[in-house]
Structure 1
Amino acid sequence: MMTMIRAIVRPEKSDAVMSALLDAGYPAVTKIEVYGRGKQRGIKVGDVYYDELPKVMLFTVVPEEEKDLVVKAIMESAKTGEKGAFGDGKIFVSPVEEIYTISSGTKEA
């Protein structure tokens, strides 16, 4: 069984996460710039309210038995360490039922 891991991280942490995944042996990652907000519903800086904040979403698919290693690599490299900080991101883990390679048309296990 394969597992998809989607991580939404701060833009300034995305390179560190990509490097951590590569160093851990997981080079296959898709990276997308996204915008959104968490439970705090945006952020107010002075008189300006930012309803949507820039983030980066990273996707990877790994064997289910390796998911904890990947989640740990992401968490350690994405965390800012700021006390009381919010907005470091989220990690979503879900099963992958089927995988197909487009060029060959083959179905992977």
Structure 2
Amino acid sequence: MKEIIAIIRPNKVTATKRALDRLGFPSMSVVAVFGRGKQKGIANEVAVEISPIVRGLGSFKGMPYVPKRLLSIVVPVEMLSKVVNTIIKINQTGDIGDGKVIVCPVEDALRVRTGETGQAAIL
């Protein structure tokens, strides 16, 4: 099993959820997070207008942090590339701030309600 951690734009969560649901992966955890990459924030990422005059003054250095969503999904190894490719397809705009996808190994999983373990616990 693998855990896919995807950091995406907030406005892409619903489309990502729908696409993963169609693949048979309706379960995920989603957390509101703040962060930034090398670009030090994206002014157009939030619904706040920054005057062109202010931008032109050179005093605008970027946002300290940009709102994003962190998705965590545990999948069987054989479905990994299909799920990752779906996340990329939905979230890739070609612009700065499209996000990141990180894949981590999962040693085991346990469904608390039933006691199921391994893949049975995630499917």
Fold conserved between structures, TM > 0.5: yes
Aligned length: 105
Q: Please identify runs of 4+ aligned residues in structure 1 that moved more than 4 A.
A: none
Q: Which runs of 5+ in 1 are unaligned?
A: none
CA deviations over 1:4-52 (Å, ceiling 9, x no partner) = 0010001111111111101111111111111000121224552543110
Question: Counterparts of 2:79 and 2:117 in 1: how far apart (Å)?
Answer: 21
Q: Indicate whether 1:19 and 2:32 are aligned.
A: no
Report the TM-score when normalising by structure 1: 0.86
SS of alignment partner, residue 4 of structure 1: strand
1:98 to 82, 95, 108: 108
SS of alignment partner, residue 85 of structure 2: helix
Greater strand fraction, Structure 1 or Structure 2: 1
2:98 is matched with 88
Question: Counterparts of 1:58 and 1:30 in 2: how far apart (Å)?
Answer: 6
1:54 is matched with 67
SS of alignment partner, residue 80 of structure 1: coil
Report the TM-score when normalising by structure 2: 0.77
C-alpha deviation, 1:108, in angstroms: 2.5
Q: Which runs of 5+ in 2 are unaligned?
A: 44-49
Question: Counterparts of 1:43 and 1:79 in 2: how far apart (Å)?
Answer: 16
Q: Indicate whether 1:66 and 2:79 are aligned.
A: yes
**Identity, % of aligned positions:** 39
